[in-house]
Amino acid sequence: MSQTLACPSCGTSNPLPEDLRTGTFTCVSCHQELRTAELADGASRSVDALVGWMNEAVQQPFDPASIATAPKLEDESTAVRPMPCLKCGQTVDVPLDLTAKQVRCEACDRTWPVSAYIDDAERLQLDMARQVAENEALKRLVAEGLDCPSCGAHNDVPDDHRVQLTCTHCGATVRLSDHVEAGAVARRRLKHGVFAMRDELVARQEAAKRRERTIVFVLVGGMVAVGVGMAALSALGGLLGAWFGLG
Ligand SMILES: [Zn+2]
Ligand SMILES: [Zn+2]
Ligand SMILES: [Zn+2]
């Protein structure tokens, strides 16, 4: 993948669509059709799917069953911990991602629950630490800015929902997930997307009080249902508190 979202056909740097649910877009130069899924990271695309889903969910009477249909956030950890197999002693890479439930030893062909090696509480702790570290790296990027990979010019990185920026010097598109973990960019996008949704709801003051409550339940239920659980709630920080404070 190019560091400046270059069109595979003509090499021109292209901005991604504002809504990453958009399946295809057209190269600004040669008009070749480009696929968003090939150029935007999966984490940010999953955020747009989830925020889109939440926006639709709050337009309808609250239905707890609908939470099962919430799109899943893509934010897997790829980290592993090498440990000796419980049966044969050969080294196995035990996944630290919370959604991984089993680990197989290639040497003796035995499969064990991951929890036989590392308990889920420790994995949750490690995953929260990972998310915090990734968020800190993004904060540093926002504080320091970045150098355009195409021309080297220094650019500010605004603290908003964006996944990309346009170099102020050469116009190249710079994808933030090429500079920090995609998960951190996606979590920030989710936070801003949810804030925007809340602001819109508050603006529609008439039915607001009831709907704010509904949306909190939709959000919390949805997060837990899609298996993000505590880690994502922690990443959202004081957001829920801010919401409850509105009532
Ligand atoms: Zn092109
Ligand atoms: Zn083994
Ligand atoms: Zn540049």
Question: In angstroms, what is the span from residue 104 Cα to ligand 2's centroid?
Answer: 8
Buried b (16+ CB within 10 A) or exposed e, 217-247: ebbebbbebbebeebbeebbeebeeebeeee
Q: How far is the CA of 104 from the centre of ligand 1 (A)?
A: 44
Ligand 1 centre distance from Cα of residue 26 (Å): 8
Per-residue burial over 155-176, b if 16 or more Cβ lie within 10 Å, else e, is: bebeeebbbbbebeeeebbbbb
Q: Are 73 and 47 in contact (CB under 8 A)?
A: yes
The rounded Å distance from CA 37 to ligand 1 centre is 16
The domain spans of the chain are 24-75+124-246, 80-119
Q: What is the pLDDT of residue 158?
A: 96
The phi, psi pair for 146, rounded to 5°, reads -145, 160
Looking at residue 204, its pLDDT comes to: 75
Residue 76 has what pLDDT? 85
Q: What distance in Å separates the CA atoms of residue 75 and residue 49, rounded to the nearest whole number?
A: 14
Q: What is the pLDDT of residue 224?
A: 55
User: Rounded CA gap, 222 and 68, in Å?
Assistant: 7
Model confidence, pTM: 0.77
Predicted local distance difference test score (pLDDT) of residue 236 = 55
d(CA 1, ligand 1 centre) in Å: 15
pLDDT recorded at residue 14: 93
What token pair was written down for 46?
């999953």
In single-letter form, the type of residue at position 68 comes to: A
Which token pair is 164? 């990309």
**pLDDT tens per residue, range 205-236:** 666 666 666 777 677 666 655 555 445 555 55
Ligand nearest to the CA of 3: 3
3-state secondary structure of 133: helix
CA 207 – CA 165 distance, rounded (Å): 37
Per the CB < 8 A criterion, the answer to whether 109 and 209 are in contact is: no
Give kind and range of the element (H or E) at residue 182.
helix 182-203
Counting as low any pLDDT under 50, the low residues of the chain are: 1, 229-230, 243-247
Closest ligand to C-alpha of residue 174 is: 3
Residue 198: per-residue pLDDT: 81
Please say whether the beta carbons of 13 and 150 come within 8 A: yes
No. of helices (H) and no. of strands (E), the chain: 7, 10
At residue 24, the 3 state secondary structure works out as: strand
What is the 174 CA–ligand 3 centroid distance (Å)?
Answer: 8
pLDDT of 207 reads 64
Residue with tokens 């500079």: 179
Please report the beta strands in the chain, taking only residues with DSSP state E, as ranges in sequence order.
Answer: 24-26, 33-35, 80-84, 91-95, 102-105, 110-113, 146-147, 154-155, 164-166, 173-175
